[in-house]
Chains A and B, each alone.
Chain A
Amino acid sequence: MWRRLSERLSVPGMLWLSVFAFTWILSAYSRDISRALDAKWIIKYPPAWRLSLKNDISSAMQWLIEDASFGLFSFTDMTRGIAWAIDQPYNLALAVLSTGFVEGLGQEAVEVLPAISWVAVVFLVVAMGQYTKDWGLAALVGCAFIYLAVFGQWDSAMITLASILIAVPFGVLGGLLLGIAAYKWRWVDKLLRPILDLMQTIPIFAYLVPILFMFGFGPVSALIATIIYAMPPMVRVTALALQSVPSETVEFGRMAGCTPRQMLWKILVPSSRSALMVGVNQVIMLSLNMVIIASMIGAGGLGYDVLASLRRLDIGAGLEAGVAIVVLAIALDRLSQAFAERRVDLMRSNRNRHLLLRYPRTILFVLVGAASLLGGYLFPILQSYPESLQFTTGVFWEDLVRDININFFDQLEALKTFLLTGFLLPVKRFLIGIPWPWGLVVISFIGWRLGGWRLALMALALSGFIVANGLWIKAMTTVYLCGVSVVIATLIGVPVGVFSALNSKADRIVSVIIDTLQTLPSFVYLIPVVMLFRVGDFSAMIAVVLYALAPAVRYAAHGVKSIDPQLIEAGIASGCKPLQLLWRIRLPLALPEIMLGLNQTIMLALSMLVITALVGTRDLGQEVYIALTKADTGRGLVAGFAIAFIAIIADRFIATGAERLRERFGLVKQEN
């Protein structure tokens, strides 16, 4: 038996197997070994050897806020200035959409002008839908906003909308300017590139901490975090869009005698308008993604509702607010997409009409707004949607969950126990048991085998950082949670992807489901999962799997679809049965693509892990989360970097692995 096995395995296979076996033994007996050698440091990195990076960062922040000064003004003046600049438009938007304009404070406050009525807002979005595309879109966004009113989410939704309305222009403008700078000056580009890459892998929470520290708890901090989070894709999109303006167009601009400024604003930016609008859409979607997270540092609105009900474990309310975020996201997404794709030539006929006819929607909107404002004093229903006509589905969801819990308790519990004891816990024990010195050796070894000594050194340095900051155990917990989730997501996602690549009907259904999964804000996954499985690793894993499933499916489907049909025909011609075709030809050839999907799955899983800290995991995410609640900048950043480094190591390993597979199959490298 053993001989047959070893005959079938190649030499590298044997090598990896023995490394794994050795690691397993070390892991299982690490305690005994350390006791026998009387070397506790083997399993626990001694606190005395730790870097004091955490404290250094924290005291640097302290210094920034208390003492730093740029001559004319201090650092605190600067943060106050920024806060003020953001606060003003935000208060205006909030007054228009939600609170109304009031004079005086507290009890004496007198409403000067009420907020814009729900009727007018619905009319506005309908008009925008019709303007940017057609009546279909108008109906969709109209229904979405009416939904918000009917299901009692209006007030919160308007607060959220106000913050989106402020965050998006700041994000777009900032991204645009940075992108332009990167286009114009090579050194800016060189500087920005690694920062943007890092920002994509650092969990958002990590930079919530310094923001919280500098700007305090409140909507301004939340807005700043949202802007920083949503800006990077705009920077990339802008730089790319400007670079892809045809060289002849640029030459034309120079021949027409454009000054550099005219070149930028009259030629480059407008002719890449549609590409830039894709960036705007990204900024909107990312801002909405941030809604719940931002509420941790002071944003109100729907995000706060979700977070609060999650903490109360009030599933119904949480789900309702979560769905409201999704509804808002869909409406804004479709609207901004339609705006990006809108063809200007459709409106040509307008140009020569009378002023009143030229802007029918704007004028109608002003009329409706004024009418509902005046009418609102007589008939309050015009101003705000009456509570008596609101529905709530909260009770329904709660009952549903209770029913499921009562009727299927045993089955759910059995599933949970089975997976926990059979899979999750053994993996966890194995990974956590690995003594850190050996862990470093193995990581460097893998790096060396895959990509030579450079990759080995990089992996060693990054994992060394984690160890040196005393985060080894927590990092391994992260790797474990991420690992099991990715394995399960792959086990589900790849077959589904392959199946949908081979069956066009399934493909259509699957892509609708995947699209929906991807538009949901990550928090929404937590609510039903926690309801059914309560807090803990298992719930976290399910939520991560749901969130990270999409790329596994997508890449597998794409990989199988893009196999050269001639190879399939060759397989059929040489007499392969369908199943052989799948195992011998389709899967191996799609493997590099599937690995890229795996890469994406890991990235998403890592970013979701931080969020699952809310349901009581004990990994790096929890570390970041605790730092947030304590406003401990150093701790949060260091843990954030640790997560980013895990992501970078995984990314480099898988990318070089996929590259080697490609070379082995002689496939050309594709841009992804």
Chain B
Amino acid sequence: MEIPVKLSCQHVWKLFGDGAEAFLSANDNVPSLQEIKDAGLIGAVRDANIEVREGEIFVIMGLSGSGKSTLVRCLSRLIEPTEGELLLEGNDLRKASSQEMIEIRRHKMGMVFQHFALLPHLTVLENVAFPLDVQGMDRSAREIKAREVIDLVGLNGREDYYPRELSGGQQQRVGIARSLAVEPDIWFLDEPFSALDPLIRREMQDEFMRLQAMLHKTIVFITHDFDEAIRLADRIAIMKDGAIIQIATPEQLVLNPATEYVEEFTQHIPRAKVLTVRSVMAVERIEEGERIDADARIESIAKKVVDSGRSLPVVDKNNEVIGSIDREAIINVLVGGELSACGVG
């Protein structure tokens, strides 16, 4: 049962600088990083291929300047890619006229920005209703809809405030509410929590997960914070110098880093946060004891297993026993022992 692909991009390039297109085709669409630099261009995105599946949280992660923002803007055609193919639900997005793009953005896409991008002259209510206003919806209808999403992000009572009267976290809640007001199919978030304090950031991540549990959007989420990435992601794409180095689940990234660069990222991450029960369980099936979900992260069940003092059965989605897990395996993960030894994959 394959989950359908919502949005994909193939061999997407974005080079900044004069004569980028001519340069790219002159090099058979495969210039190296050095060649790009020598030509005086900036290779912001180089040959990116991604497939975002319906309902998943797809995180793009990389250090500052690695091209994350550029890539996500290419996906929504805020920036026109120099080269490459974009497919939205199987339709060629790059063939859409500017009129069609306006329609697609109005109804199918929502975006949250790092610095919130709220309109200073509008109240919270008006900001959230703005995308609907642009579509020509009448005032009372759009305000009803806007109040709904304001409720959803927990800002009720603040409808008549102006952005500058809100804290950073509250402002980003407005940004989130505004992007949700049009009920988009695809939700782009460009480092939405990077401008917030660590404590608020954590709270907003929880809030974000709560919303996603309700809404099941297809999400492209940008971050430069690996902790944030593994907390939220179904899959992570790691970018470096404009190129995507690896796309994998958080667990696979930790278990099988494609390059040393990825490994460096994953080194400092506590294994218990990333690994699922499935990856460390023993194949031996037992029936007695509290059942443990195979897809749960070790972190969340560690206490249960250790406290029980014995092996517990591991079950899959259909509540069928597929293996067992004991204290030793958990402690192994927690103290960072050899992973591959007990990994089943």
Residues of A within 8 A of B (CB): 246, 248-249, 251-252, 254-259, 262, 266-267, 270-271, 273, 344-345, 348, 351
Contacts and interface: CB of A to CB of B under 8 A. Distances in A.
B134 A246 contact: no
Contacts of B164: 345
Interface centre among B103, B106, B110, B117 (most CB of A within 10 A): B117
Interface in B117-134: 117, 119-123, 130-131, 133-134
Given A255-B76, A255-B109, A256-B182, 12 more contacts: A246-B115, A246-B117, A248-B116, A249-B119, A251-B111, A252-B113, A255-B111, A256-B105, A257-B134, A271-B120, A345-B164, A348-B160
Contacts of B130: 256, 266
B160 A351 contact: yes
Interface of B: 73, 76, 78, 102-103, 105-107, 109-111, 113-117, 119-123, 130-131, 133-135, 160-162, 164-165, 179, 182, 188
A251 B188 CA distance: 12
Nearest to A254: B78
Interface centre among A257, A258, A259, A267 (most CB of B within 10 A): A257
Given A251-B78, A344-B162, A345-B162, A256 B131 contact: yes
A345 B115 contact: no
B68 to A, nearest CB: 14
A341 to B, nearest CB: 13
B121 A273 contact: yes
A258 B161 CA distance: 24
A528 B131 CA distance: 61
Contacts of A273: 121
Nearest to A266: B134
A256 B115 contact: no
A270 B160 contact: no
Contacts of A251: 73, 78, 111, 113, 117
A271 B188 CA distance: 23
The 7 residue pairs across chains A and B that have the minimum distance between CB atoms = A257-B106, A248-B117, A256-B131, A252-B117, A257-B105, A255-B111, A248-B113
B161 A345 contact: yes
B100 to A, nearest CB: 11
Given A248-B115, A266-B134, A345-B162, A255 B120 contact: no
26 contacts: A246-B117, A248-B113, A248-B114, A248-B116, A248-B117, A249-B117, A251-B73, A251-B113, A254-B105, A255-B76, A255-B78, A255-B109, A255-B179, A256-B105, A256-B106, A256-B130, A257-B102, A257-B131, A259-B102, A270-B119, A271-B120, A344-B162, A345-B161, A345-B164, A345-B165, A351-B160
Contacts of A246: 115, 117
Contact of A255 (B110, B121, B122, B165): B110
A344 B119 CA distance: 13
A251 B76 CA distance: 10
Contacts of B111: 251-252, 255
A245 to B, nearest CB: 10
B186 to A, nearest CB: 11
A256 B122 CA distance: 15
Contacts of B106: 256-257
Interface centre among A248, A251, A252, A348 (most CB of B within 10 A): A252
A107 B164 CA distance: 61
A657 to B, nearest CB: 34
Nearest to A273: B121
B107 to A, nearest CB: 8
Nearest to B188: A255
Contacts of A270: 119, 121-122
A246 B116 CA distance: 11
B102 A271 contact: no
Contacts of B188: 255
Contacts of B182: 256
Interface centre among A248, A249, A273, A344 (most CB of B within 10 A): A248
Contacts of A249: 117, 119
A216 B182 CA distance: 58
A538 to B, nearest CB: 53
B180 to A, nearest CB: 12
Nearest to B114: A248
Contacts of A258: 102, 134
A256 B137 CA distance: 13
Contacts of A344: 121, 162
Given A249-B117, A266-B134, A255 B105 contact: yes
A85 to B, nearest CB: 31
Contact of B119 (A259, A262, A271, A345): A271
B147 to A, nearest CB: 15
A255 B105 CA distance: 5
Nearest to A252: B117
B174 to A, nearest CB: 12
A267 B120 CA distance: 10
Interface centre among B134, B161, B162 (most CB of A within 10 A): B134
A257 B181 CA distance: 13
Contact of B135 (A255, A257, A345): A257
A248 B182 CA distance: 19
Contacts of A351: 160
B211 to A, nearest CB: 19
B262 to A, nearest CB: 29
Contacts of A254: 78, 105
Nearest to B175: A252
Nearest to B161: A345
A251 B164 CA distance: 20
A252 B123 CA distance: 16
A256 B78 CA distance: 11
A514 to B, nearest CB: 33
B137 to A, nearest CB: 12
Contacts of B113: 248, 251-252
Contacts of B102: 257-259
Nearest to A258: B134
A345 B109 CA distance: 31
B2 to A, nearest CB: 29
Contacts of A256: 105-106, 130-131, 134, 182
A251 B120 CA distance: 15
Contacts of A262: 134
Contacts of B135: 257
B103 A267 contact: no
A532 B78 CA distance: 67
A246 B119 CA distance: 10
Nearest to B184: A255
B130 to A, nearest CB: 6
A273 B131 CA distance: 20
B164 to A, nearest CB: 8
A559 B219 CA distance: 53
Contacts of A266: 130, 133-134
A361 to B, nearest CB: 21
A251 B73 CA distance: 9
Nearest to A256: B131
Nearest to B179: A255
Contact of A271 (B105, B107, B121): B121
Nearest to B121: A270
A266 B133 CA distance: 10
B158 to A, nearest CB: 11
A248 B111 CA distance: 10
B203 to A, nearest CB: 23
Nearest to B76: A255
A248 B131 CA distance: 15
A351 B161 CA distance: 12
Given A248-B115, A251-B73, A345-B165, A257 B121 contact: no
B193 to A, nearest CB: 15
